[in-house]
Amino acid sequence: MSGGVRARRRAVFVDRDGTLNRELVETLARPEQLDLVPGAGEALAALREAGFAVVVVTNQSAIARGELDHERLARVHAALAERVEQDGGRIDLFLACPHHESDGLAPYRRTCACRKPRPGMLLEAAQRLDLDLTRSWLVGDALRDLAAARAVGARTVLVATGKGASEMERAKKEGGAPDVFVPDLVAAVRAILAEAQGK
Please tell me whether residue 104 adopts helix, strand or coil conformation. coil
In the set 15, 141, 145, 184, the catalytic residue is 15
130 is catalytic: no
Mean pLDDT of the chain: 95
d(CA 187, CA 185): 5
Residue 107: asked if its preceding bond is cis (omega within 30°), the reply is yes
User: Where along the chain do its domains lie?
Assistant: 11-196
Instruction: Using alpha carbons, select from 95, 100, 120, 121 the residue that is nearest to residue 110.
Output: 100
Residue 17, beta-bridge partner list: 21
Alpha helices in the chain, H assignment, sequence order: 40-49, 70-86, 120-129, 143-151, 164-174, 185-196
pLDDT confidence tier of residue 7, bands split at 50, 70 and 90: confident
Residue 198 has what pLDDT? 77
DSSP class of 67? S
pLDDT tens readout for residues 135-183: 999 999 999 999 999 999 999 999 999 999 999 999 999 999 999 999 9
Topology at the third CATH level for domain 11-196 = Rossmann fold (3.40.50)
The pTM for the full model equals 0.95
Which residue out of 17, 92, 145, 184 is catalytically annotated? 17
Catalytic annotation present for 15: yes
pLDDT-derived band of residue 2, with 50, 70 and 90 as boundaries? very low
From 187, 185, 190, 193, select the one nearest 37 (Cα to Cα): 185
Q: How far apart are CA 4 and CA 68, in angstroms?
A: 47
